[in-house]
Chain A
């Protein structure tokens, strides 16, 4: 009897020594959670920081984190291949509905459905911090598949960075706030600075087509871009009538006006004649004062402004955002970054627990995002962080590429950035922005996929020529483009999308 009591006691003691986790969860087995993430293998102090984090994770939930990097070489294939051929070798997957095809991958069975019970039990803090409305945006066929990065302020709306000092000289006292202003700005540079290309675009990158065409559209119509299509041809009519598809690309004068204006800009020499095959680096050229503009998004502007102030003192880099004329601005979709659990994960519960800590535990979060305090960064009285003298990210920093659950409650702002300018910009955005209206709509490719591929080809064939004015007759080119869209079956596709939208929003 005494022996039995002793045995029970010692077993109980053993149990107590085991890591104390959330109550009632069995964490007796030490597991490795593999985290699939895009980015290059770090050459900085990431491993050191990871070791520390793993110490904490082992202590708290008896698990540790391991990276599986999808490096930028051929990353689209690699990423999809890793999802397609998973066999329990990955657990957490960083994903996104816009740039990492979260929904198509979900439809193909890459992710595990996350029940409310699972989330409540294993990721309780995440479960609480995300509102019900936001969880609804992460559902496909009624099941939650994504944990969204919904508490992180960032703007990735596109526009043009320009130099305020040159804009002033061009007579634009308040800076550039419309395409018309932009034309004046470019013309001033063309007339007065022989060594500067107004906008030395590297048209070889395919991304300019949707940005520029969509940018003009945002500035001249109330149309709203619907995400998740392989080709950027589908827009909602306006914020008052968002669930009717716009026929902007099929009829009307605005696209023709755009084509004419860009043709005029091309003829005026705002970019080089062989723009479509030029591969230079616009950002660097702007930093060297060789070009006057750079087309990218707000987030890039926030850091580029600081760089420019250092390299081109007094440049006072401004940002003209597409849609500014009309106040046509949509908030970033909350699934621009999200974490999913791999369908074949062997330890989904523990994976959720790890994610919950990554996202919500201050110590782990700060280690992950900034490294060791004191050694790798210091905080000032406003809780803004600065790096020590001579710090270089590629050797001294830490890279977790955690773009799938950043949390403003725990973020430190970078003291180096110009927060007055940034906050002013964000405040201006806040006045006009509307929420992304299509969060619940997930495009289903199965009926019209064939047409979609051909539309994609037509768009990628004609749009670069329209955007960079590479044609003799813009009106004729737009007409030809529209005819080709018709031939490729755009009416069928639009009818299908409209009926899919109706099914979600017109109940």
Chain B
């Protein structure tokens, strides 16, 4: 008896790890498939990222290949272009995130105000259409609209007697075009996210507000928007991790080898592609990816800590 008592006391103060696991065994089991999934498909191969620090020899394999330190990172840093590339990549991503989320939010809220169910559903489906158009086709479409010789818009401009600028020779026009195309492609996808969040909202609050005499505008400002806040924050945190990663397909197909536009359109991915076009190198491309990840990781850590400081409930982890 005397032995058992202090033991019990300790147990009450601080439940042992084994006991916590036991208590939460169902919840842990529910997470297990996902844990295993990421273990196998993400963490198992991860040590292979060591390839970025080697001169990869096919016959020796990744881990027996000679270690070369940071040599594979060198070409990016010695290019003299890194400043421009970082600037372009970050600014484009910020524009995509900020303007994109604003549009998606707006459309989701507006759609929610529509009573006609058929219209709502049709609009949602139609907004999704551009998502399906591949980057190759998008670039063809853009070319057909704005090319100088016979573009649709060029003809239109000429028919009213003005002179069409040569858009494909004017770098300053392209940030607008690229952001516009991106928004056009992605708004439908993002709207669905916010729309689902609104639909999942507790409807009793809305009804109560209606009864209290709140008008539609007030309801949006005081109920819908605050309920969407966590979603906005989560999406923002998630997107910020990829701040240095660019959408190669979109940029490469729209701009191609037109170096007159590079000043405003060159991002890390397109630069790397151009540099390694004829000298394929697994190690160097891994190095670039690792660099983008590490920077993104620290930015996310910072942003998440900041959000956690304000309200732990909104943080990503």
A adjacent to B, CB under 8 Å: yes
* Docked complex: B77-132 residues within 8 A CB-CB of A: 78-81
Interface residues of A (CB under 8 A from B): 76-77, 80, 83-86, 101, 104-105, 108-110, 203-204, 206, 229-231, 272-274, 276-279, 343-344, 445-446, 449-450, 452-454, 456-457, 460-462, 464-465, 470, 487-488
- Asked if A110 contacts B260 (CB within 8 A), the reply is no
- Which 5 A-B residue pairings sit nearest by Cβ, starting from the closest? A109-B59, A230-B279, A230-B278, A276-B258, A453-B275
**Which of A231, A276, A456 is the one whose CB lies under 8 Å from B257?**
A276
Query: Is B166 engaged at the interface, CB distance under 8 Å to the other chain?
Result: yes
Q: Tell me which residues across on chain B come within 8 A of A452, comparing CB atoms.
A: 279
- Asked if A453 contacts B59 (CB within 8 A), the reply is no
- Asked if A450 contacts B74 (CB within 8 A), the reply is yes
Interface residues of B (CB under 8 A from A): 55-60, 71, 74-75, 78-81, 139-140, 143, 147-149, 166, 168-169, 255-260, 262, 271, 274-280, 282, 284
**Which of A77, A104, A203, A461 is the one whose CB lies under 8 Å from B262?**
A461
Closest CB of chain A to B179's CB: distance in Å? Answer: 18
Q: Tell me which residues across on chain A come within 8 A of B79, comparing CB atoms.
A: 453-454, 457, 488
**Can you list 9 residue pairs at the A/B interface with Cβ under 8 Å?**
A109-B58, A204-B257, A231-B278, A273-B149, A274-B147, A276-B260, A277-B139, A445-B279, A460-B257
- Asked if A273 contacts B148 (CB within 8 A), the reply is yes
Q: Tell me which residues across on chain A come within 8 A of B71, comparing CB atoms.
A: 450
Nearest B residue (CB) for A459? B274
Nearest A residue (CB) for B284? A453
Nearest A residue (CB) for B282? A84
Nearest A residue (CB) for B77? A450
Q: For the complex, give the distance between the alpha carbons of A110 and B282 in Å.
A: 14
Q: Tell me which residues across on chain B come within 8 A of A450, comparing CB atoms.
A: 71, 74-75, 78
Closest CB of chain A to B154's CB: distance in Å? Answer: 10
Closest CB of chain B to A103's CB: distance in Å? Answer: 11
Beyond A108-B56, A204-B257, A343-B58, whether A272 also contacts B149 by CB under 8 A is yes
Q: Tell me which residues across on chain B come within 8 A of A272, comparing CB atoms.
A: 147-149
Beyond A80-B282, A456-B279, A461-B262, whether A276 also contacts B256 by CB under 8 A is yes
Q: For the complex, give the distance between the alpha carbons of A280 and B78 in Å.
A: 37
- Asked if B143 contacts A83 (CB within 8 A), the reply is no
Nearest A residue (CB) for B279? A230
Contacts beyond the supplied A231-B278, A278-B147, A461-B274: 13 A-B pairs with Cβ under 8 Å: A84-B282, A86-B58, A105-B58, A108-B59, A273-B169, A277-B168, A449-B279, A453-B284, A454-B75, A454-B79, A456-B277, A487-B80, A488-B80
**Which of B57, B148, B282 is the one whose CB lies under 8 Å from A109?**
B57
Nearest B residue (CB) for A484? B80
Closest CB of chain B to A141's CB: distance in Å? Answer: 14
**Which of B55, B74, B140, B275 is the one whose CB lies under 8 Å from A456?**
B275
Q: For the complex, give the distance between the alpha carbons of A184 and B147 in Å.
A: 27
Q: For the complex, give the distance between the alpha carbons of A108 and B57 in Å.
A: 5
Q: Tell me which residues across on chain A come within 8 A of B169, comparing CB atoms.
A: 273, 470
Closest CB of chain A to B74's CB: distance in Å? Answer: 5
- Asked if A274 contacts B279 (CB within 8 A), the reply is no
Beyond A204-B256, A450-B75, whether A456 also contacts B166 by CB under 8 A is no
Q: Tell me which residues across on chain A come within 8 A of B260, comparing CB atoms.
A: 276, 465, 470
Q: For the complex, give the distance between the alpha carbons of A83 and B166 in Å.
A: 45
Q: Tell me which residues across on chain B come within 8 A of A279, comparing CB atoms.
A: 139-140, 143
Closest CB of chain A to B286's CB: distance in Å? Answer: 12
Query: Which of B257, B274, B279: most chain A CB closer than 10 A?
Result: B257
Q: For the complex, give the distance between the alpha carbons of A450 and B275 in Å.
A: 10
Nearest B residue (CB) for A463? B259
Q: Tell me which residues across on chain A come within 8 A of B60, comparing CB atoms.
A: 109
Q: For the complex, give the distance between the alpha carbons of A457 and B269 in Å.
A: 12
Q: For the complex, give the distance between the alpha carbons of A230 and B168 in Å.
A: 28
Nearest B residue (CB) for A106? B58
**Which of B59, B147, B275, B277 is the one whose CB lies under 8 Å from A277?**
B147
**Which of A85, A206, A454, A470 is the one whose CB lies under 8 Å from B275?**
A454
- Asked if A460 contacts B259 (CB within 8 A), the reply is yes
Nearest A residue (CB) for B136? A279
Beyond A450-B75, A457-B81, A465-B259, whether A274 also contacts B168 by CB under 8 A is yes
Beyond A108-B58, A110-B59, A470-B260, whether A457 also contacts B271 by CB under 8 A is yes
Q: For the complex, give the distance between the alpha carbons of A460 and B260 in Å.
A: 11
Beyond A230-B278, A278-B147, whether A83 also contacts B58 by CB under 8 A is yes
Closest CB of chain B to A491's CB: distance in Å? Answer: 15
- Asked if B259 contacts A274 (CB within 8 A), the reply is no
Closest CB of chain B to A496's CB: distance in Å? Answer: 15
- Asked if B59 contacts A344 (CB within 8 A), the reply is yes
Q: For the complex, give the distance between the alpha carbons of A453 and B273 in Å.
A: 10
Query: Which of B58, B79, B166, B169: most chain A CB closer than 10 A?
Result: B58
Q: For the complex, give the distance between the alpha carbons of A373 and B143 in Å.
A: 48
**Which of A86, A446, A464, A487 is the one whose CB lies under 8 Å from B259?**
A464
Q: Tell me which residues across on chain B come within 8 A of A85, comparing CB atoms.
A: 58
Q: Tell me which residues across on chain B come within 8 A of A230, comparing CB atoms.
A: 276-279
Q: Tell me which residues across on chain A come within 8 A of B280, comparing CB atoms.
A: 76-77, 80, 101, 104
